[in-house]
Structure formats: structure tokens, C-alpha cells
Structure 1
Amino acid sequence: MIFESLNIYLFDCINSIATQSPVLDRIAIFTAHDLNTVFICFLLFLLVLKWKTYNFLFAKTLLIVLLSLILSDLAEIFYHHPRPFEIGLGHQLIGHGPSSSFPSQHTLTITIIAFSYWLAGFKKIGVFGIFVGMVVGLSRIYVGVHFPFDIIGSFIIGLMLVVSVNYIVKELTVRIRKITSVSAYDA
């Protein structure tokens, strides 16, 4: 219960600023709704420019994002956390259906991309992605469609998914190399 009270308190601190400045509201709506698309377009541009550098990482990251979508849908079956506007809290600046608030898929997507690139050694893209994820997360709270713990949870889940998939890919690569080296030796 203490976590729920803290979650609501933090939501009120951020969302209470909404509707006080039309300019800030427009910026928040853009970042909550469209900043993901801008960041992904930037990564696609990098992919086209340097295909050999980014192709495997991009494919692996896309796989993790798709996995997160499936896991989010499964999580909603077992745990539905209402969005702030569903329980009469705050100001809602963008339209949204009554799906589960946890986790924030917008934030989770950016977080997965950021951690994937960061852990692959592309530190500047990773750090920039983490910054974008924080901006997107804060704006999702500001526009009234997520609670702060939805955003924090997205960061934790994103990191766990990236680390887990990286571990699985590494283990599979080692096992495949062992099998192929033994097969080549036998031939």
C-alpha cells in the first residue's frame, strides 16, 4: 500500500504541471507520442549508412522489442493495473484506451534499444537512448497515461530482457561453434 501511495504522489507531482503551459503541453504530447518514432528513424538511418556494423544488433534488438510486446500482453492477462485516468487521477492530455498501465510499452521499447546498443559497445547511442527513454517516460506521466512505477518497471524489464537475450545468444553461439568445430574435425 505504501508503494501505491508513493506512486500516486509522484504521479501528482509530475502530472499537476499539465495544462498550465500550452507550449509545455505540446512538447510533452510530442515526446510522449512521437519521440519513439524519431529515435527509431535515426537508428534506421544508421542501419542504412553502416549496414555491416549494425545489422545483427538491429535484428537482435527488434527481436527483443517483439518479445517485450508479447510479454506485455501476457502480463496484462494476469495483472491489470489501471491507468491514472481510469481511477480519476490527474489531467489526461492524449487519448488512450483502458489497457493495463504497467509496463509503459513506449518507454520499454526505447529502453530495450538503449540498453541493447549500450551493452553492445555503442555507448553514445546507448546513453542517448537512455536519456530519450527518461524523457519519454516522464512525458507519459505528464500527459496522464502512466504512473512513475510503470516507467521504472519498464527500465528494469528492458534491462533484464536485453541482458537475458544477450546471455542466451552468447551461449547458443558457443554451443553452435562447438558443434560445428567437432563436425569439421570428424569430417
Structure 2
Amino acid sequence: MDQAITGWINGPAGENAMLDAVMLALTEFGVPALILLVVLQWWRSGERQHARHTAVVAGLAFLIGLGVNQLILLFLHRMRPYDAGVSHLIISPSADWSFPSDHATASFAIAASFLMSRLKRLGAVFLAIATAVCISRVYVGTHYISDVAGGAVTGIAAAVVVGLLYREGTRLDRAVTSIL
């Protein structure tokens, strides 16, 4: 089923220039755009301290999620779908293993952090972007659908753990969110 869904999403790759351009832009600029949007929350008007706290949670979840991915990659060596003949690659090949997707981890860590806060509308926007980034990673041929699902789980788990451990209003949080 993993290969079938991956093949279905990747199937149109290389056949429609407009769709390819959108997916390539999402895969290249989606995570940097999310990071920029998180950084801009530092200067948000209204609920500034809460927005800053949420931005810190998102940043920590992002880093921890990617760190967990590196540990997983030490033990799981999954071949990329284009190497297995499952997908047609329309970007440069990756040098590392396929599972889990760092793009999915990063984008879902950010989205989950905002969805767990009182900034749910912004979280919904981040979730839509994260989902589009994940689909783009399969579309361009570099990941199986389960790779992005695994990355999303890692990102969400990191956001939950950070959200539970880094509490809003603590002395540390007040010190960090008062910077600038």
C-alpha cells in the first residue's frame, strides 16, 4: 500500500510543468517559509508573550525532532523510493536514507506547536503548509508516503514533549520571551 500511494502521488511528476513548479517550490521553500513565519511571531502585536512562548516551543520541537531523526537514521536504513524503482525523481538525489522525512518532521513540529497553543488559526495555516510540504516530498520522488507520515509523527511527538516540559510563564520562559 505504501508503494501504491507513493506511486499514485508521484505519478504525475514530470508531466505538468505548472504542477511540477508548485511542488518544487513547496519542497524547496516550504520549511524555510515556515521558519520565517515563526520568527516573525517574535514581533507580533497582541498576545506577544504567548506568541513568543509558542515560537520558542516550535523552535525547540523543530530541533529535537530533527535530532531524533538523526538517531533513527543510525538504525533504520531505508532505501529512497527512486532507488527502489517506485518513484520518478524530479530533484537532485539525497545522500541520506529515506525514513523519516526531515521536511515532515520540521514542518509538523512547527504546526503542532502552534495548534497546541491559543494560536489555532495560525496553527491551521501552518498545518496546511506542512501537509503541502509532505505531499511535495512524495510528489518529487524523494520519499515514500510512510516516510513523511513517520516524520510527521516525530515532529508532533517533539512538539508535545516540549510543550509539556517548557511551560509558559516560568522564570526561564519570561527571560527568554523578554529578549528584544
TM bucket normalised to smaller:
0.7 to 0.9
TM-score by length of 1: 0.82
1:40 equivalent in alignment to 2:55: no
1:16 equivalent in alignment to 2:11: yes
Corresponding residue number in structure 1 for 2:44: 49
Corresponding residue number in structure 1 for 2:131: 134
Alignment of 1:153-168 (within 5 A): 153-168=150-165
Shift of 1:127: 1.0
Which protein has the larger Cα radius of gyration, Structure 1 or Structure 2?
1
Indicate the structure with greater helix content.
1
The change in CA–CA distance for 1:40 and 1:101 in structure 2 (over 3 A counts) is same
Corresponding residue number in structure 1 for 2:82: 85
Alpha-carbon distance in 2 for matches of 1:45, 1:126: 14
TM-score by length of 2: 0.85
Shift of 1:79: 0.7
Corresponding residue number in structure 2 for 1:62: 59
Amino acid at match of 2:33: V
Q: What is the DSSP-based 3-state SS (H/G/I as helix, E as strand, rest coil) of the residue aligned with 1:84?
A: coil
- 2:110 corresponds to which of 108, 113, 124: 113
Amino acid at match of 2:161: S
Corresponding residue number in structure 2 for 1:184: none
Q: Which whole-Å deviations, capped at 9, do the CAs of 1:66-103 have from their partners, x for residues lacking one?
A: 11121111111111111111222221111132312111
Stretches of structure 2 lacking an aligned partner (at least 5 in a row): 173-180
Question: RMSD in angstroms over aligned alpha carbons?
Answer: 2.1
Moved over 6 A (4+): none
Count of residue pairs the alignment pairs up:
169
1:28 equivalent in alignment to 2:23: yes
Larger relative contact order (C-alpha < 8 A, sep ≥ 6)?
2
